[in-house]
Amino acid sequence: MDSKADPLTVLLAVKAEQNLEIEKELIEQCYQLQSEHQYDKDRDTLRKMRALVEEKVKIRTGESLL
């Protein structure tokens, strides 16, 4: 793996290499959230990322938070 590769590409490559069951869409959404707010002084990305993950879990188990 190229050490200068795009971080999202690296995350998706690790997912594939480790044969992880996490959805590609969730990785992309978390990455986008983090990259959009990485320079915000008062960012609250942890709470937002937790909500994304919890919603995916609820959808996968047949429930929905929204």
What single-letter amino acid sits at 19? N
What is the pTM assigned to this prediction? 0.76
Q: What is the pLDDT of residue 63?
A: 72
Q: Is residue 1 part of a domain?
A: no
The model's confidence at residue 65, banded by pLDDT at 50, 70 and 90, is low
Say if 53 falls within a structural domain: yes
Domain with 54, as residue range(s), is 7-60
Q: What is the pLDDT of residues 6-61, one digit of tens each?
A: 999 999 999 999 999 999 999 999 999 998 888 887 778 889 999 999 998 888 88
**What is the predicted pLDDT for the residue at 59?**
86
Evaluate whether residue 66 is within a structural domain. Answer: no
Q: How many domains does the chain have?
A: 1
- Please indicate, yes or no, if residue 2 is contained in any of the structural domains: no
Residues 6+ apart with CB under 8 A from 65: 51, 54, 55, 58
User: Within a domain: residue 15?
Assistant: yes
11 falls within a domain: yes
Q: How far apart are CA 20 and CA 16, in angstroms?
A: 7
